[in-house]
Amino acid sequence: MFKLTVMSFGFKHGSCDEVNILYDVRGFKNPYYVDELRDKTGLCDDVYEYVFSDEAAEAFFLPSVTAARVALDRAIALGKDGFTLAYACTGGKHRSVSFARRAKDYFTELGYDVVFVNRDCDKL
């Protein structure tokens, strides 16, 4: 059965070689610099909402999943058994997790079998 993995990670904890498509989201508003959000993650609604309060993040998201969907559907058509879409930021705790969370919801709603991985979410 085909498996779509949507993951987040932080570049400061090393790269991730097993991805098919990687989006760098370091250019968007960073919750790390907001005291009440710093110790939370993109799994928390207030962090997620803060990240997507940035109009640029909103504008980036849909084209990112649209492009990924084209490549994903080609992988399925070619008989591949899996595909990994990743979002990365500096620490892998806020922005990348928020984007990956939203992508997971997007692809789940479309009926894909999604595995959600947040590699560095609990790291300092």
pLDDT per residue as tens, the chain (124 positions): 889 999 999 999 998 888 999 999 999 999 999 999 999 999 999 999 999 999 999 999 999 999 999 999 999 999 999 999 999 999 999 999 999 999 999 999 999 999 999 999 888 6
CB 120 within 8 A of CB 108: no
Residues 6+ apart with CB under 8 A from 92: 8, 9, 10, 11, 12, 13, 118, 119, 120, 121, 123
CB 9 within 8 A of CB 119: yes
DSSP string of 16-33, one letter each residue:
-TT-SEEEE-TTS--GGG
Residue 115, SS3 per DSSP = strand
